[in-house]
Structure 1
Amino acid sequence: MSSMEYGNLAYLGLLGAVLVFWVFIQNRDSLTKKVQQLAAWGLIFLGTIAAIGLWDDIRQTVRPQQTVFADAGRVELPRAPDGHYYATLDINGAPTFFVVDTGATSMVLTEQDAARAGLSTDTLAYVSEAMTANGLVHTAAVTLDEVALGPFSDRDVRAFVNSGEMEQSLLGMTYLQRFARLEISGGKMILER
């Protein structure tokens, strides 16, 4: 912090102390009540800060999760509040979060997800192109050693790594066609083999 910021902080601290002192002097008769109110507001403030800090964790807990029925050979993906279906697959042993995109031809990984799966993104050749909703992007073809969704495991799965900005990896039709049945019913996407 610069000396100007320290000065501003000292000024605000002094101003706050004066205001608190003034409130206590003005209400000397009900000092106990003022301390209780100050404590209540302090707890409300701390609770709000805690909720903001933990919001991502709270949201993950409330969001519906995929359900695996290994005995039946079925995975159910609940529809998220945004209307999409999401799935977590293990790519080369690394859990990877996908948005299921029946409009996408292939499985497409973000560079971050590809690196997490053990692919060296620095050495990839982005020589192919793909048309997306955001326009033309360059992609690199890769072969994933192992892809697992619940009880279903596949080896040597062809995918692409997108060189452009992508919020999440896409689970496209080349992977979804590996399932004998894909059904959307009752707010769930059901995948069976």
Structure 2
Amino acid sequence: MTSDNIFQLFYFVILLLAIGGSVVTLYRGQFGRMVRQFLAWVAICAALVIGYENKHIFEGWLIPAQQSVDPAGNVTLLRDTNGYFRVSAMVNEVPVDFLVDTGASLIVLSQADARRAGIAVDDLRYNGVASTANGEVRFAQVLLDSFAIGDAVERGVVASVNAGVLDTSLLGLSYLNRFSRIVIEKDRMILER
């Protein structure tokens, strides 16, 4: 043990004795009350830890779904806190989150999402050039085995993989045009089949 570790251990023991002494003095003659309050705090902390570990169960109750798909295949998206519409899709049977971008011509995958979807990004030929708000960027065109939002699965969907830095994959017009109508009402976007 180093001298720093010994000092930290000594400091911790002194702090523990000070807190313990204060508790004993505060609850002198009330041991039962002290135990009940201690157990109450243990239960509260345990409930918080268990709740956090299982937050995915409670999110559906507390936070409205950002996307829903009805039986007809119509997709309803809610605007996120940054003002964007996002959609979760299955690309080659792997979940990928997309930013809906009506200014993008194609489905644009980030390199990270393309890798997760089983695309060998290092073997692609990035010979396409696209003009973006951040200037020109190179991309490689790919053919996705499958692309699904909800139960609507499509095969052989053309997409592109961005050669530059892209934080979020983009859902562009090549896929959005498959819907008969796109309606935006305040904080809701409805993609109608």
**TM bucket normalised to smaller:** 0.7 to 0.9
1:114 aligns with 2:140: no
Normalising by structure 2, report the TM-score: 0.77
**CA drift at 1:51:** 5.2
CA–CA separation in structure 2 for the residues paired with 1:56 and 1:167: 23
**CA drift at 1:147:** 1.7
1:154 aligns with 2:154: yes
CA–CA separation in structure 1 for the residues paired with 2:164 and 2:156: 24
**CA drift at 1:105:** 2.4
| Cα displacement string for residues 92-149 of structure 1 (whole angstroms, at most 9, x for unaligned residues) | 2222221211222221111121112211112122333434445544322212122222
Identity in percent? 35
Q: Which residue of 2 aligns with 1:35?
A: 35
CA–CA separation in structure 2 for the residues paired with 1:93 and 1:15: 56
SS of the residue 1:113 aligns to: helix
Normalising by structure 1, report the TM-score: 0.77
Answer with 45-54 or 24-33: which moved more.
Answer: 45-54
Letter in 1 for 2:76: E
SS of the residue 1:36 aligns to: helix
CA contact (8 A) 2:66 2:80 kept: no
CA contact (8 A) 1:141 1:160 kept: yes
| Cα displacement string for residues 137-185 of structure 1 (whole angstroms, at most 9, x for unaligned residues) | 4322212122222343333222111233333211011211122111123
CA–CA separation in structure 1 for the residues paired with 2:185 and 2:3: 61
| Cα displacement string for residues 4-31 of structure 1 (whole angstroms, at most 9, x for unaligned residues) | 6643552343123212331144232333
Q: Which residue of 1 aligns with 2:6?
A: 7
SS of the residue 1:17 aligns to: helix
CA contact (8 A) 2:66 2:79 kept: no
Q: Which residue of 1 aligns with 2:163?
A: 163
Letter in 1 for 2:12: G
Change (3 A) 1:4 1:134: farther
| Cα displacement string for residues 35-57 of structure 1 (whole angstroms, at most 9, x for unaligned residues) | 33333344444445555555677
Change (3 A) 1:105 1:93: same
CA–CA separation in structure 1 for the residues paired with 2:111 and 2:29: 65
Change (3 A) 1:165 1:45: farther
Letter in 1 for 2:69: V
CA RMSD of aligned residues (A): 3.0
CA–CA separation in structure 1 for the residues paired with 2:158 and 2:146: 10
Structure 1: gaps spanning 5 or more residues: none
**CA drift at 1:58:** 5.0
Q: Which residue of 2 aligns with 1:68?
A: 69
Answer with 12-21 or 44-53: which moved more.
Answer: 44-53
SS of the residue 2:30 aligns to: helix
SS of the residue 1:88 aligns to: strand
Structure 2: gaps spanning 5 or more residues: none
